[in-house]
Amino acid sequence: MDSKGAEKPITKKVAIIQPFANTYVSHRKFSNLITPLKAFTGSNIFVSTTTLHLATLLKKIGCQVRIYNDITEEIDPAHVSEDIVLITIVTSSARRGYEIARLFRDRRVIIGGVHASILPHEALHHADQVVVGECERVLPDLIAGRNKERIIDIKPPADLDEVPHIDYSYLKVPPKIISLQTSRGCPFNCSYCSVSRIFGRRYRFRSPGNVLSELLNYREKYGEIRKIDLRPDADFTCNVERAKEILRRMISEGIIPKSIVANARLEAYKDRELLSLMSQLNFTICIGIESINQDALDEYNKKQRAKDIDEAIRVFHDHNIKVYGYFIFGADCDEPGTLKQYADFINKSDLDIFTVTVLTPYPGTALHNRLVSQRRIFEFNWDYYDSFHVTFKPARMSAYEMQKVFNDFYLETFSLKSCLRPKLLFDIDSLKNQLFISLMTKILNKSFRRYEESLKIQAAEHKRLSWKLGSVDIHSS
């Protein structure tokens, strides 16, 4: 501190690098078909809220910060002048993050993010220091070099109003979508999810006034707020009274975006006042339906009733609220025909948008621990932990069969022809989403098929070895 007791600025030069999963690096050239301007200059489709949040925190303590986006440009150490390199990783980008870290052996490298928080000792092989969990409280001492611990596990902030609002000046063009995190944590413990492991099982909130001040500051600086993405929250409606107060204040202040997207649990449909407020604000509600089979929901520890799903979608639609349904394929009760059941349900329920992903045993989850104990995980290459590659032995089909029917489903369901559905033609946002997924499916299909073929070869080899071992047993007897 200086003579007046104020904290001295930490005048360090820091690079923040957001790695791109190795599975998709070969498709980097296609990203410019999707982003209107190269790298980190126009769209934040490929820029995480975490990256912007880190940059904001560093700027606040006096650092000079530059963001490098591995998704749209190669990371070349010769073009990175900063002395400290921060790399934030999720599981699918972990190996790529480690590759990038090795490029900067002559710099100080700090790794954080979800994957590093779950497997800090793994990350430490590639970094000088690893941050476990939320970094707000440790960042000043970490960057200044006062905290020299190799693995830093800190207590998260209890009052999220202390967390600074995101600084969008790192974008050369104001974002079309404001991404807000208004809460952290989740009291539920779904078997496939690591949110409660990372952020805790107790919800922590920003106050309605704090959320509104961020929106008002943005509007004052950049003009009309067109779209808001609240999906950094595990469940925006977890405290329903707080959610309603935020929405009331938005309406009172005339903040009526073209669309708001938010995660919520299925039971949100039971609060009619909440639905009325959402209908005035052009909401799309994202629901983790996961499965229409109660056995699968119970396996996932979802705490949700399959029989409520139809009614919930109908009630949301009755209030002019769009529904984005998330589905998972791969429960022990799932079979190849499960995806056909999903398709029939989606068409019958008239879901506005939907995504189906492969059940993935992410490290740190109960699912991962169970499948490891059952020796069912055969792939530990983190590149494939992206919710689109089968990495474990399913109960009622082979891994190859599961991957093939999933690939076939995606190619058919998200074909360009699928964009001609009458409902989409009158809903430009949903149509854009469908076109985006269709384009990505087309681009990535070859790499998905190569993985499928590798599983087919593995299955054939396993069958051959099993037959050979069986023959040895017969002759030996």
Query: Structure tokens of 439?
Result: 């384009």
| CATH fourth-level superfamily of 177-459 | Aldolase class I (3.20.20.70)
- pLDDT given at position 40: 35
Checking DSSP bridges between strand 283-290 and strand 322-329, what pairing results, if any?
parallel
Residue keyed to tokens 């995606």: 410
Give me 194's structure tokens. 């690591």
Tokens matching residue 21: 């999963």
CATH class of the structural domain 13-153: alpha beta
- Cβ pair 276, 239 in contact under 8 A: no
Helices (H) and strands (E) in the chain, counts: 18, 14
State which amino acid sits at residue 328. I
**pLDDT at 73 (0 to 100):** 75
Specify which residues 84 forms β-bridges with.
14, 108
Helix axes 240-252, 272-280, angle to 10 degrees: 30
For residues 290 and 270, give the distance between their C-alpha atoms in angstroms, rounded to a whole number.
19
Q: Buried b / exposed e across 437-462, counting CB within 10 Å, b at 16+?
A: bbebbebbeeebeebbeebbeeeeee
Q: How far apart are CA 291 and CA 354, in angstroms?
A: 12
Q: What is the pLDDT of residue 441?
A: 76
The answer to whether 251 and 281 have CB atoms below 8 angstroms apart is: yes
Domain ranges of the chain: 13-153, 177-459
What pLDDT does 469 receive? 56
Per the CB < 8 A criterion, the answer to whether 288 and 323 are in contact is no
Q: What confidence score (pLDDT) does residue 112 get?
A: 97
How far is Cα 477 from Cα 471, in angstroms, rounded to an integer?
A: 10
Torsions phi, psi for 179 (to 5 deg): -105, 120
> pTM, whole model, 2 decimals?
0.89
- Burial of 463: CB neighbours in 10 Å, binned 0-12, 13-18, 19+: exposed
Which residues does 465 contact at the CB level (< 8 Å), separation at least 6? Answer: none
Cα–Cα distances in angstroms (integers) from residue 68 to residues 41, 86, 87, 436, 452, in the given order: 11, 10, 10, 24, 33
> How far apart, in whole angstroms, are the C-alpha atoms of residue 283 and residue 231?
12
419 backbone dihedrals φ, ψ, rounded to 5°:
-75, -5
Query: In a structure prediction context, what are the per-residue pLDDT tens digits for the chain, which is 477 residues long?
Result: 443 445 678 889 999 998 987 766 655 555 444 444 333 333 444 567 889 999 999 999 999 999 998 877 789 999 999 999 999 999 999 999 999 999 999 999 999 999 999 999 999 999 999 999 999 999 999 999 999 999 999 889 999 999 999 998 887 777 778 999 999 999 999 999 999 999 999 999 999 999 999 999 999 999 999 999 999 999 999 999 999 999 999 999 999 999 999 999 999 999 999 999 999 999 999 999 999 999 999 999 999 999 999 999 999 999 999 999 999 999 999 999 999 999 999 989 989 889 999 999 999 999 999 999 999 999 999 999 999 999 999 999 999 999 999 999 988 888 767 767 766 666 777 777 777 777 777 777 888 899 999 999 988 887 776 665 555 454 444
The pLDDT assigned to 225 comes to: 93
Burial of 26 (0-12, 13-18, 19+ CB in 10 A): exposed
